[in-house]
Chain A
């Protein structure tokens, strides 16, 4: 059975303090790994898709990387508006469903 584990569960950073969020996965044939941002009471907002080990994607202060067993979401010099829950999800050979992790709740304080 596919498994997605995110760590840490919660992270508190000072504004400007860079860090990384981890997503480790066990799937039967990874077809794509997705990062979403979710604000309280809202739907997941798409950030990145990664398809193969070694791939990297960047958007503003965020950079996502992928290995054969895990993905990292690096946040460089975060701002308070980056506070949100970051969700990792995988798409495997088994079908259409996205399998989500529980997320990392990020709080960036001024």
Chain B
């Protein structure tokens, strides 16, 4: 069964460093998303991406964050200058069509630890 994959599974970085989290969405899906989950808190939406453009972003997704689809299979989230409060699980998701009724399938996550 097709699935979303994410690398690395765990990333440790120093405050102020740049990190790139990588995702391979399900191959025939056209809409891609990033969410985060701070330990003990709910899953929070960051950004959605379609046709090489951001289609929606939350207030969490400030200028420190960026997303890119560098090739036909990868989807990346970059955090330019990490802060302690960026420590969280980051989940990539994808959906076939992106409509409000379309199911988003999630990857296993990358645990980001900022020291």
- The answer to whether A43 touches B106, judged by C-beta atoms less than 8 angstroms apart, is yes
Q: Which residues of B contact A (CB under 8 A)?
A: 4, 6, 31, 33, 35, 41-45, 48, 55-56, 58, 89, 91, 98-101, 103-109, 111
- The answer to whether A100 touches B101, judged by C-beta atoms less than 8 angstroms apart, is no
Question: B6 contacts which chain A residues (CB < 8 A)?
Answer: 43
A76 to chain B, nearest CB (A): 24
B53 to chain A, nearest CB (A): 12
- The answer to whether A95 touches B91, judged by C-beta atoms less than 8 angstroms apart, is no
Flag A60-95 by CB within 8 Å of B: 1 or 0 each. Answer: 000000000000000000000000000101011101
Check if A12 is an interface residue, CB within 8 A of chain B: no
Measured in the bound complex, the distance between the Cα atoms of B26 and A43 in whole Å is: 15
- The answer to whether A95 touches B56, judged by C-beta atoms less than 8 angstroms apart, is yes
Q: Which residues of A contact B (CB under 8 A)?
A: 31-32, 34, 36, 41-46, 49, 51, 87, 89, 91-93, 95-103
Neighbour of A97 across the interface among B58, B99, B105, B111, CB < 8 A: B58
- The answer to whether A97 touches B56, judged by C-beta atoms less than 8 angstroms apart, is yes
- The answer to whether A96 touches B41, judged by C-beta atoms less than 8 angstroms apart, is no
- The answer to whether B41 touches A98, judged by C-beta atoms less than 8 angstroms apart, is no
Question: A91 contacts which chain B residues (CB < 8 A)?
Answer: 100-101
Closest to A44 in B: B106
- The answer to whether B43 touches A87, judged by C-beta atoms less than 8 angstroms apart, is yes
Neighbour of B45 across the interface among A46, A87, A99, A102, CB < 8 A: A99
- The answer to whether B103 touches A46, judged by C-beta atoms less than 8 angstroms apart, is yes
